[in-house]
Structure 1
């Protein structure tokens, strides 16, 4: 493929795919920090919007959202970082018991080649346009592999006159070759839906020649350790480092984007209370940044590891959000039927002369039932060793709902692994109205295991 004629067919087939895609109902599975799950209310906003994380196929989610009138034209910012058509498989690098394991993150190989890749991307862009606000911007993050094709497709879908910028994100990391210059940048295409998009001009330093003062009349100059500079409107080439191996924000997820990059994007085209979306959310940088900056978010990914990485990241920063799963596939395959099993000890001790009790929950051993088929033997060996010697090293996060209703996990206690490790004991005082307790445990590979028990059983076991 390589002609304009082929691109026309891509768009036609993508439109047919959109028409044939059925919408689905997503079921709420989890609600974390409900009092914080809504963004700051803007003075001109009709209502606050809940932060939402979806686990499922993004095209079915997009179709479901676009079919509802109340969702169309509501997204102030859409940022997507889809696969780049690199024809490679990507692993997450995860630390377990002092060693690194490599876990499959996502596959960027396409059976139908470039044509199939562009058709899938275009179908999703068609639906995203329906959801983009008239004053919003969409940011499509790619690189040299297909950005030239994507530019033509975006011109067709959004209009040539609605092209706003091509941002060049340049960085130091990456390899180099002897047959070409080192490829050290990504391309981010920015489009609007109308001419009335929001844009907040950002400023950056511009150093004077030889770092000496100009002393021009009316021009304010500043000085730092390098020399003299002025503040100018930001250019379309952004020098931002990739997420380094020792970076505090590093999750280990493949192709993780830095928060500084997303902070700049969010700041330049949204205000507190605006709704942002990332339908290829990966490690969750956009929802993490949006929540911290007072914006609402919609995030989606079909990968178990991506979803749980995002949930853990949001929990660690105290964000509020809801988690939805696609029915029936993901509820049966990815959520309730786990690839691992954890031992959980629960006890309940009453207080003399009181109707309240102290609940103690302690994590025990871990058993991994099925390791990913694409995992290398070295990583499998590390995991098997951890199961025998330090099973809690395989747990990334866990949470407890002390008032489980049998449907939605609403934890009041959340524990996420950090540099100091992971707490393995939870204690909480409960009243006589405590009926059922649910514990959710996520391992380092994104697998989830639930244990829920009635309080009557916990009391009887303690006796």
Structure 2
């Protein structure tokens, strides 16, 4: 339950129309409900610190939670953001999956390393796990985006800018929302980023670009620094002459003829003219080899290509390539954007020391680039995989930050997509019912009451997570009236609720239906979805020629959740096997150490926020990343620390993390 609600716009600007143009231009079902949500405010939840990396004097944050709740927390703390870049879901209908790689068994890693080098890349044993779904209907998406953009605007400083990265699926609709929220006069550019080469298999015209909408909060007071793009080939071709050392140059005019303000009249090397600079400067350029005598007689300057900054960036960005499969920065995150793209945006619309935020942070590229460019950062995302990917990336870069988690119920579900796949088996008696609208997840048959429709919040749609008066109003006046007249009862599950007593009073005060409404907490159903991982380890003090300190040796590791995924993968692979593609099951050793992706030791505190005093990450090829430093070593099944460890944390290859006291 939220602690309280934070107003979206505490003091509305006189004349600002909340949902005015939006309702007039984009009329659709659900807009009235959104208006009620905005009037209610942003839900503020308890924030729990999960980990502190470094001293973090700049207050950098990696937040697991939804955008609106994160903005409520920032607003309550008085935090103002100077630049926002967001790459939200595109309403494209796509599902995104994380590639899960089985690590090498450290007990036999060296022995099999040579054999694995001889295998094709396809032989690396891996399976996919759904991370999240970009599956929306247009109405829900626009309401969701409007709410998020309103929340973001509430935490932007007066000089702040926002860049919203979308594509052809929904971008033109969101542009209208942004015109209303930020003002048409504050629209600066629609940037076109060519993200792919031509599509030779396109049915019509290939869609190979994204749109980035750039707005400032103020009309006159904002940050914008000129950034540069490489010159095009036609311009570069002008620099056709070269010095002996290979430097390319073009000829430049040194005379002041035709320029206002006059010039310097003198003779140099037999040539008299009105020059742009005094004689002393001409002599210096000559000594530096920066002038040349033309064939027709005259003195010209040498303009070197490598000394020019480039073309001031235009709104068509053709020079930044997407992250390819071989890129050093690649993190195997489905929607990862290139660092060069974010670097251009941050350099243009912020100065050093300013605060940059990404509320749909994904792979953490915005936070990573902001840190490298001397900015403070906030990375926010609802997905645990995003938080882990960004956290590990920032540790490797030497960044300092806090990892925070919004306690709104979302943290119960590491993977909402897979939980939704299993939801029907978790609710006793729930079955599909073809006659019901898609609003209802299914129905339960009762000998006395007959069919009981069941509503279950979609864990992939954050807008349905909270049961409030707005959602209950929709159930009472839209969903229930569409049911068959024989329905006597419905069951409404919720993940979070504004105030159960308030909701019950709202139901009791409504006389539009005689259908009984039973409220149930979904958390009680999902508590036992995932069985915790188990580990066997021993800790010893070590003193030898190479190391002095403590060592935790992992003897065995069991992850029921990962093993279930492997079993599902093997079953599908067996069914799809053929003589040309024989069945090759994923097999796990008795020790199970191949299921471990990351280990960390806390030598500072036995409880509370985590302090990673020593950590190891095993990449998909089996190489160890030790305390953020990449190596070409294989993991030996142990983790070491200088001080005595108090706690051990292990992350399995699907992303689940478990802690044990030592």
Do Structure 1 and Structure 2 share a fold, with TM-score over 0.5?
Answer: yes
Among 164, 170, 180, the alignment partner of 1:146 is 170
Conservation of the 8 A alpha-carbon contact between 2:557 and 2:591: no
- Structure 1 residue 54 and structure 2 residue 79: aligned? no
Distance 1:210 1:347 in 2: 63
Q: For residue 166 of structure 1, what is the aligned residue in structure 2?
A: 190
Q: For residue 421 of structure 1, what is the aligned residue in structure 2?
A: 623
- Structure 1 residue 119 and structure 2 residue 143: aligned? yes
Q: For residue 234 of structure 1, what is the aligned residue in structure 2?
A: 313
Distance 2:66 2:200 in 1: 35
- Structure 1 residue 137 and structure 2 residue 161: aligned? yes
- Residue 445 of structure 1 deviates from its aligned partner by 2.1
Q: Give unmatched runs, 5+ long, in structure 1.
A: 39-48, 352-356, 454-463
Tell me: higher relative CO, structure 1 or 2? Use CA pairs within 8 A at least 6 residues apart: 1
Distance 1:157 1:62 in 2: 16
Structure of larger gyration radius: 2
State the secondary structure of the residue aligned to 2:649: strand
State the secondary structure of the residue aligned to 1:63: helix
Distance 2:406 2:412 in 1: 10
Among 593, 600, 603, the alignment partner of 1:399 is 600
- Residue 174 of structure 1 deviates from its aligned partner by 8.0
Distance 2:567 2:149 in 1: 35
State the secondary structure of the residue aligned to 1:322: strand
Conservation of the 8 A alpha-carbon contact between 2:647 and 2:660: yes
- Structure 1 residue 360 and structure 2 residue 551: aligned? yes
Q: Give 1:235-274 correspondences, 5 Å limit.
A: 235-239=314-318, 240-274=320-354
Q: For residue 24 of structure 1, what is the aligned residue in structure 2?
A: 45
State the secondary structure of the residue aligned to 1:360: strand
Q: For residue 200 of structure 1, what is the aligned residue in structure 2?
A: 225
Distance 1:444 1:151 in 2: 39
- Residue 245 of structure 1 deviates from its aligned partner by 1.0
- RMSD between aligned alpha carbons? 3.2
Conservation of the 8 A alpha-carbon contact between 1:340 and 1:367: no
Distance 2:198 2:87 in 1: 18
State the secondary structure of the residue aligned to 2:193: strand
Conservation of the 8 A alpha-carbon contact between 2:559 and 2:652: no
Name the CA shift for 1:129/1:318 in 2 (closer, same or farther; >3 Å): same
1:175-233 Cα deviation digits (max 9, x unpaired): 55443111111000010100211011012232445813363427974447xxx988321
State the secondary structure of the residue aligned to 1:388: coil
- Structure 1 residue 310 and structure 2 residue 351: aligned? no
Q: For residue 64 of structure 1, what is the aligned residue in structure 2?
A: 73
Distance 1:414 1:132 in 2: 36
How many residues are paired up?
A: 422
- Residue 440 of structure 1 deviates from its aligned partner by 1.6
- Residue 378 of structure 1 deviates from its aligned partner by 3.5
Name the CA shift for 1:122/1:294 in 2 (closer, same or farther; >3 Å): same
Distance 2:595 2:615 in 1: 17
State the secondary structure of the residue aligned to 1:22: strand
- Structure 1 residue 157 and structure 2 residue 191: aligned? no
Conservation of the 8 A alpha-carbon contact between 2:536 and 2:557: no
Conservation of the 8 A alpha-carbon contact between 1:78 and 1:278: yes
Q: Give unmatched runs, 5+ long, in structure 2.
A: 1-21, 104-123, 240-249, 255-300, 416-526, 574-583, 625-634
Conservation of the 8 A alpha-carbon contact between 1:56 and 1:300: yes
Q: Give 1:425-440 correspondences, 5 Å limit.
A: 425-430=638-643, 437-440=646-649
Q: For residue 279 of structure 2, what is the aligned residue in structure 1?
A: none
- Residue 350 of structure 1 deviates from its aligned partner by 8.2
Q: For residue 377 of structure 2, what is the aligned residue in structure 1?
A: 297
Distance 1:312 1:182 in 2: 36
Conservation of the 8 A alpha-carbon contact between 1:206 and 1:230: no
